[in-house]
């Protein structure tokens, strides 16, 4: 499960989950500043990481690995790469959609 964040410039996964999933990564030593001004350490980058979409489709994304307590976040790179469409409706709430492999 992941949060979709239209303001995040990166996709993020907690280090604990990356280790449990045995993700291959290259080491990084960077800091990321959150919207509230707090800093998180980025310790790795997992490239071309397969994820399973709700449709059963498999996609590959790049995930920055963060140390400490963070949520898994799908940010703008994920949204742009997958042509995600976000709509807001009084009747239906938030609607998240994207075209399947055939473009529909």
47-85 pLDDT tens trace: 999 988 878 889 899 999 999 888 999 999 999 988 888
Looking at residue 8, which CATH number applies to its domain?
2.40.70.10
In a domain, 103, yes or no: no
What distance in Å separates the CA atoms of residue 76 and residue 64, rounded to the nearest whole number?
13
Q: Which two tokens stand for residue 84?
A: 């995600």
In a domain, 104, yes or no: no
Number of compact structural domains in the chain? 1
In a domain, 102, yes or no: no
The tens digit of pLDDT for each residue in 32-56 reads: 887 777 888 999 999 999 988 878 8
Angle at alpha carbon of residue 43, lines to 5 and 25, rounded to 5°: 90
* Full residue range of the structural domain in which residue 24 is found: 3-97
Angle at alpha carbon of residue 47, lines to 83 and 26, rounded to 5°: 155
Q: Which two tokens stand for residue 60?
A: 């590959």
pTM metric for this prediction: 0.82
């Amino acid at each position: 499960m992941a949060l979709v964040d239209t303001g995040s410039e990166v996709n993020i996964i907690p280090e604990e989950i990356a280790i449990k999933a045995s993700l291959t990564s290259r080491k990084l030593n960077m800091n990321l500043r959150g919207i509230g001004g707090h800093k998180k350490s980025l310790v790795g980058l997992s490239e071309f990481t397969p994820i399973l979409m709700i449709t059963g489709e498999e996609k590959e994304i790049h995930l920055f690995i963060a140390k400490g307590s963070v949520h898994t976040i799908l940010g703008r790179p994920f949204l742009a790469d997958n042509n995600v469409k976000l709509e807001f409706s009084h009747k239906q709430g938030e609607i998240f959609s994207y075209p399947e492999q055939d473009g529909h």
